[in-house]
Every structure is written in C-alpha cells, then in structure tokens.
C-alpha cells in the first residue's frame, strides 16, 4: 500500500517537472525572471564576444535594453574582473627580463577608460564619430579600476606598458593624455595614437603596424589587452591576448 502511494507521488512529481520544463522551453528560458528576449540577446552577446558576429553596426534594437542591463547592473563588471584575474594569473607566471624589453600593450577606449556614460546617452551602441570626439574631448572618461589594477601591477613587476589607441593624435592627443593621467594611468612607456598617415585605415591594420614597430625595436609583447578583436588580431599580437567584454559596438 505504502509503496503504491510512493509510486503515485513520484509520478506526480515527474509530471509537474515535465510541465515546468515544457513551459520553460515554450518561453525559451529555463530560469524564472529571464525574459524570452534575453535568451536571444545573450546568444547574440556570446557571438560578439567569441568574434563570430562581425561587422555589425548597432546593437539589435530588441537587445538595447538587454545590453543596458548587462553593462549597468553588475554582470559586465563581474566578467571584466574575471578577465583581469586571468591576465594577472598569467602575468605572475612571466618574468620581466632585466633588459627592459618585456612589454604589454593596452588599448584605451573601454579598456583603460570607460565610455559607458557616453553610450548611455546613445542607446548603447549607436556610433557617431563627431559626438564621440566631443565626448572624448571633455577628458571625462572614467578609468576602469580592475584594468588600472593590472596596469599598476605590471609596472611594479618591471614590464613596459604601451598604450595603443585608434584615437586621432592631432585632435585628441592632449585630452587623452590628460584623461589617462587624471584616472591614474601614468608611468607607461609610450602612448601611441593614430597619426594622419593611418587615417581611414582599419584599427586592425593600424595596430598591427604599431605592434610590429615595437617588435622591430626589440620588445617582446607578453600580453595584449583590448575590448575589440581588432586590438587582438593581426601581426605581433603578443604571447597572450585578453578580451574585455564590449557588446556596445564593433570596431573593424
């Protein structure tokens, strides 16, 4: 009698579990509180971070709210801190040689300095070169603390740190230097920005050429940190690359 009642209970529990799963699948999600659109937008973000989605111009309209949530409610900072932890663990395994030629390369925008306040006013991803120039000229980009932590630790370990940015040197040189200094990024070896001869060239081409120059000077690029795949692919990318999340825009 007791075993029949137990079997009936098991059947009831199985039935309820199946009904829950069925409802979850129908809503394309498995966890309470996750909206159906979020699942599609999460897939899109993973494609972006894995460099499977390329050449996109704006965040898909249905994912603007999702990207805002990702960037402002903690997950972005958690993911970013995880990347910096991996980079820091790796840096601990590499010794900076006494010849002063072991180097790291850092991108600037949304790597050292955050443009999140700007993109909050731009629906998280609508790229507008002249508006961006006006924003950058204000020297108001907040530093990104976990990146500053890695940057400082690398300097303490004796690495040479190069900042490599696609920002235009003529128009944004002084404000970029000032902004970096104000946010604690000082002590780096060289700030390399886009000169007139590289205007109109892709970031990937420009950054490859600049890294090659460093290697030609004798530097060994041990690590390379950026929020775009174009920071991390091409020539002389370094022994290891670390991709900081950025679902807001794509730079070729």
HSE-up of 77 (CA within 13 Å, CB side)?
10
Residue count at the site for Mg ion (CB under 5 A)? 4
Q: Choose between 44 and 230: whose C-beta lies nearer to Mg ion.
A: 230
Q: Choose between 109 and 139: whose C-beta lies nearer to Mg ion.
A: 109
Subset of residues 40 to 99 that bind Mg ion, contact rule: CB under 5 A: none
Tokens read off for 31: 């966890």
Beta bridge partner(s), residue 223: 104, 240
The answer to whether 240 touches 224, Cβ cutoff 8 Å, is: yes
- Adjacency order of strands within the sheet including 190-194: 190-194, 160-168, 102-106, 220-226, 240-243
Q: Which residue is nearest to Mg ion (CB)?
A: 109
> How far apart are CB 153 and Mg ion at their closest, in Å?
21
> How far apart are CB 90 and Mg ion at their closest, in Å?
20
| Residue with the two structure tokens 């460099």 | 51
> How far apart are CB 227 and Mg ion at their closest, in Å?
4
Beta bridge partner(s), residue 221: 103
Question: What is residue 93's three-state secondary structure?
Answer: coil
> How far apart are CB 74 and Mg ion at their closest, in Å?
21
Q: Choose between 38 and 110: whose C-beta lies nearer to Mg ion.
A: 110
Subset of residues 98 to 117 that bind Mg ion, contact rule: CB under 5 A: 107, 109-110
Q: Choose between 102 and 230: whose C-beta lies nearer to Mg ion.
A: 230
Question: What is residue 164's three-state secondary structure?
Answer: strand
Question: What is residue 120's three-state secondary structure?
Answer: helix
CA distance 200 to 115: 22
Subset of residues 200 to 229 that bind Mg ion, contact rule: CB under 5 A: 227
Q: Choose between 102 and 110: whose C-beta lies nearer to Mg ion.
A: 110
Tokens read off for 90: 């790796």
Q: Choose between 96 and 150: whose C-beta lies nearer to Mg ion.
A: 150
Residues that bind Mg ion (CB under 5 A): 107, 109-110, 227
């Amino acid at each position: 009698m007791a075993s029949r009642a137990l079997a009936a209970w098991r059947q009831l529990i199985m039935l309820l579990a199946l009904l829950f799963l069925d409802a979850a699948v129908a809503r394309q999600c498995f966890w309470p509180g996750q909206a159906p659109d979020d699942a599609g937008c999460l897939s899109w973000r993973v494609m972006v971070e894995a460099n499977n989605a390329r050449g996109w111009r704006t965040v898909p309209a249905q994912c603007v709210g999702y990207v805002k949530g990702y960037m402002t409610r903690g997950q972005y900072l958690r993911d970013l801190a995880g990347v910096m932890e991996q980079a820091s663990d790796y840096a601990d395994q590499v010794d900076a040689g006494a010849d002063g030629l072991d180097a790291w390369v850092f991108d600037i925008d949304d790597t050292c300095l955050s443009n999140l306040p700007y993109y909050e006013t731009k629906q998280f991803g609508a790229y507008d070169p002249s508006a961006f120039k006006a924003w950058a000229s204000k020297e108001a980009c907040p530093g990104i603390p976990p990146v500053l932590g890695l940057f400082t630790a690398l300097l303490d370990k004796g690495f040479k740190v190069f900042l490599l940015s696609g920002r235009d040197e003529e128009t944004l040189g002084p404000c970029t230097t000032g902004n970096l200094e104000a946010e604690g990024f000082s002590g780096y070896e060289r700030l390399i920005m886009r000169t007139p001869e590289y205007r109109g060239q892709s970031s990937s081409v420009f950054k490859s050429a600049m890294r090659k120059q460093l290697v030609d000077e004798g530097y060994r690029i041990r690590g390379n940190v950026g929020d775009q795949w174009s920071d991390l692919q091409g020539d002389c990318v370094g022994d290891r690359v670390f991709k900081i999340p950025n679902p807001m825009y794509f730079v070729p």
